[in-house]
Amino acid sequence: MTDFDMSLLLADATHLAELLQRDELSSESLTLQTLKAIERLDPALNCYISVYPEAALAAARASDERRRQGRLRSPLDGLTLAVKDNIDVAGMVTTAGLNIPADSTPAEHDAFVIAQLRQAGCVIIGKLNMHEAALGATNDNPHHGRCMNPHRPGFTPGGSSGGSGAAVAAGLCALALGTDTMGSVRIPASYCGVSGLKPTAGAVSIGGSVLLSRRLDNIGPLARSPRDLGLMMPSLVQQDHACAQSRGLSLASGMKPVEQLRFAALTDVSGVDTDISLAYTQAVQHFIQRGAQVTYCDLSQFDFARSRRAGLLMCEVDMYLYHQPQLDAHPEYYSDQLKAMMQWGVGKSAVEALAADWLMDDTSVQLAQLLSNVDVLLLPTAPQTAFSFEQPAPAGQADLTNMANMSGHPAISVPMGISPGGLPMGLQLVGQRGADRSLIELAQWFADTAAGQCPLDPQQLLAS
């Protein structure tokens, strides 16, 4: 017996919000059960770097009091939220996955998005594990330990927002925030069988987050259904005049019927694992069978790996400039591997860095041209499923995701089934800039009509 209801905690946030609104569940009960589940399950999963139970329960009780008084702030009021540990939360230490002591000075102010979500009534549980400094896609963290994939112990949840994907999949929060620089929200979403959005560039402020790349960074939500992501968007999409990247976009809403949408799909998926290729082909057929207009595009001449390497170089240059003062003062915060990666980037000439930036422009133009004749591009999220920590990480994990970061288009990963090996697979939908809400609605349509969901069995979790 447990003193928490795992089936309840694995429900999507929209359903939990409905229970709260009908007074069939209190935020205090939801939060307390979440904390008990973390206490029971997280020693094995290692999703959290830090948990703040007293602050969370106080926020939950305040939400319940607002509900009693009829002063609810938003549909998010009372839902639990966990935050990747490179986003500032006032009163909580921000480690960015580095070896920063737990008793270090906490953040004085909320990141802009945290302030918006707190105002909406979210109950912040704690800070989530991540790949060191967000530069990697396995969440094999040398300081805070490996975060495990809830679907398979010993396997990666993806990265760099691995703790976010794993915590959502395991029911250890209702909603989570991650950051996505080359796929770091969508890859964990794919590996963990949940939904994750990289918003249109500039739609969501990155103010108050630890920088990896000025050009490529995005803050994005992860949840157990696309509709949950939609719940978060009104709070996330607000202009931040203190953030140079914030554009204050007005996001279009209202998805057209699927049969009125134009889709592009890949003719050649030979570069991905067989299981992914078969699931992707079936997903495209699902759209066609329901009347969607699908045209096939040939990207065989596109150098995915070269584009990824250009983005990686610019990340290493940007992060060195950002981290240099702290690196000089506290080199013990950084692993030798991370130091070497930053030194490699800063050792490149200005001409090489500019060439990488130009290549990212070329990638942006290519994707924009492809999307000029269609509404949505359908892609696998990752070329493979999650893999064991004991095997080398595939070099091309971000090959299919980094393009949207370079071009600024919104992209969402939604589950498209379980592989024969028992691991989740993700379908990626890339849409027009500013069409985030329509993209979320389309992803929810796919979730509702295709047999792609990857829910965890509560008993499987409790037995792990």
User: Which residues are bridge partners to 127 per DSSP?
Assistant: 50, 83
Our answer to whether residue 388 is catalytic in this structure is no
Residue 296: CB atoms within 10 Å: 11
Our answer to whether residue 160 is catalytic in this structure is yes
Residues 184 and 163: their CA atoms lie apart, in Å, by 11
- Catalytic residue selected from 84, 198, 213, 419: 84
Residues whose CB is less than 8 angstroms from the CB of residue 366 and which lie 6 or more positions away in sequence, other chains included:
302, 403
Question: CA angle, corner 378, sides to 291 and 422, nearest 5?
Answer: 105
> Encoding tokens for residue 253?
């809403």
Residues 113 and 232: their CA atoms lie apart, in Å, by 10
Nearest alpha carbon to residue 129 among 201, 199, 47, 67: 47
Residues whose CB is less than 8 angstroms from the CB of residue 391 and which lie 6 or more positions away in sequence, other chains included:
none
Contact 120, 63 (CB under 8 A): no
- Catalytic residue selected from 184, 205, 235, 364: 184
Between the CA of residue 434 and those of 71, 183, 233, 460, what are the distances in Å? Answer: 31, 18, 12, 39
Residues 198 and 161: their CA atoms lie apart, in Å, by 12
Nearest alpha carbon to residue 280 among 290, 265, 292: 265
Between the CA of residue 287 and those of 55, 164, 220, 361, what are the distances in Å? Answer: 45, 29, 26, 31
Rg (CA), the chain: 21
Contact 199, 410 (CB under 8 A): yes
- Catalytic residue selected from 27, 63, 160, 209: 160
Between the CA of residue 254 and those of 151, 165, 230, 440, 441, what are the distances in Å? Answer: 34, 27, 12, 10, 8
Contact 161, 178 (CB under 8 A): yes
Between the CA of residue 443 and those of 137, 224, 376, 429, what are the distances in Å? Answer: 23, 12, 11, 8
Residues 418 and 276: their CA atoms lie apart, in Å, by 10
DSSP 287-330: HHHTT-EEEEE--TTS-HHHHHHHHHHHHHHHHHHHHHHHHHH-
Q: Is 21 exposed, middle or buried (0-12, 13-18, 19+ CB in 10 A)?
A: middle
Residues 32 and 11: their CA atoms lie apart, in Å, by 16
Residues annotated as catalytic are: 84, 160, 184
